[in-house]
A and B are shown apart, each in its own frame.
Chain A
């Protein structure tokens, strides 16, 4: 029972390159979220999903796209990376929604040069 896993753990990109971050969960949770964490800014929501095949924008969606083709996976894509996207990215899941604990992955540290 791995919980929430994220791939990769670290990545360095050059400006303009693209990449996909993968979040996988084996807890059968409906809701999945992508956050970015920057010093002094807390956790800011990028995109979220309330079920397979659904996605919605969060607080800071610009420059990112997401897909939830399978219930257990939530992908975060950067089409053309910018230095402002240097951050630590966390995936989280919840079973039902707002009245339940969020389970976070270990994070992906992304540096865009």
Chain B
């Protein structure tokens, strides 16, 4: 089955800095890679996703890059703000309808 590794587990940055979270996956059949943000006491919510026919996708301050050859994808957040503080999960899915999640990254943005 699919295995998704996510790093780092904790990331601490100063407001205004950039943050990068990296994930690797094992199943070459995976072709959908979403990122979810989970605020304290809430369920995860999709913030951006990318499909295997695209190498990069941007939405304002967030971007995701995908390298299918190396089987890794990354989340980039620029100009971080305190409200970006949350837990972020990457996931991968392919032929099945069951996504495999990474273990999460706790992002802390210091004012």
- Fill in one digit per residue for B89-101: 1 if any A CB lies within 8 Å of its CB, else 0: 1000111111101
- Flag whether B43 is at the interface (Cβ < 8 A): yes
The contact size tier of chain B is: 20 to 34
Query: Smallest CB–CB gap between A90 and chain B, Å?
Result: 5
Evaluate contact between B93 and A98: CB separation under 8 angstroms. yes
CB distance from A88 to the nearest CB of B (A): 9
**Chain A interface residue number, banded:** 20 to 34
Q: Contact: B42 with A106, CB < 8 Å?
A: yes
B16-69 interface with A by 8 A CB criterion: 31-32, 34, 36, 41-46, 49, 51
Does B98 contact A104, Cβ atoms closer than 8 Å? no
Let me know if B43 and A106 touch, CB within 8 A: yes
Which residues of chain A have a CB within 8 Å of any CB of chain B?
4, 31, 33, 40-43, 45, 48, 50, 58, 90, 92, 94, 96-99, 101-102, 104-107
Which residues on B are within 8 Å of A, measured CB to CB? Answer: 6, 9, 31-32, 34, 36, 41-46, 49, 51, 89, 93-99, 101-104
